[in-house]
Amino acid sequence: MRLGFVMLMTMSFPVHADELLEKILQRLAEPAVVRAQFVQERHIADLARPTLSRGRVTVSRRDGVLWQIESPVKLALAFTQDGVIETGADGVRRSRGQRRGAVDAEIGRLMQDIVGANEASLQTAFDALAQGSLERWTVRLKPRAREMARFLREVRLGGGRHLETIEIEETSGNGTAIRMRQFAIAEKLEADELALFKQP
């Protein structure tokens, strides 16, 4: 009876948005490495149909975010604190610095802040609004900086135990929707993954 009352009280009084955001980030940052399958839909304002890409994403708390596109082309993008390292299907690796596509680079930094539970960085770069509960939440991010706001209107995140969806709305009318599933947790990167993070 007492447990039921406590649960009822918890449900009746939602967690404050800032506190919820902090708890979401803490939960997402618990695993050292998270891997998932993804499907990405890229909506271009001038095109009737979205472009689709599929692949694997690996998020390492220490090393960064590895985006491995498997179709329609093979391409690996390793987002680090120093920039973006691109590896093509031919195995040739190129360092793009932070000047690679503005949206791609910003999302790479955003995912690093999320997995690193870097609430201060997120709050500095975005007006963040967390809603829901720790088991099923959404976070809306609106850029604060004028430069970022020129190309990025809003980012919406959703998930529970893991980050499951990312929706990106650009000022150009373009947008991206990413869905992730089949999550797996590990203690460290595999050797071939780690190699993609090393500077060429």
- What's the pLDDT tens digit per position in 154-176? 999 999 999 999 999 989 899 99
Sign of the torsion angle spanned by Cα atoms 141, 147, 153, 155: negative
Q: How far is CA 75 from CA 55, 90, 91, 114, 199, in A?
A: 9, 9, 9, 23, 16
Q: Give the CATH number of domain 15-62+100-192.
A: 2.50.20.10
Q: What is the pLDDT of residue 7?
A: 34
Q: Which residue has the higher pLDDT, 1 or 21?
A: 21
Confidence bin at 15 (pLDDT 50/70/90): very low
What global pTM score does this model have?
0.81
- In whole angstroms, what separates CA 57 from the centre of its chain? 10
Question: Using an 8 Å Cβ cutoff, are 25 and 114 in contact?
Answer: yes
Q: How far apart are CA 46 and CA 102, in angstroms?
A: 20
Q: Above 50 in pLDDT, residue 103?
A: yes
Say what the pLDDT of residue 160 is. 94
Percent pLDDT > 70 in the chain is 83
User: Could you report the per-residue pLDDT of 51-69, keeping only the tens digit for each?
Assistant: 999 999 999 988 888 999 9
- In the chain, where the domains are located: 15-62+100-192
- Mean pLDDT for 72-99 is 78
Amino acid sitting at position 118: N
Sorted by sequence, the CB contacts under 8 Å of residue 23 that are 6+ apart come out as 15, 134
Whole-number mean pLDDT of the chain?
A: 82
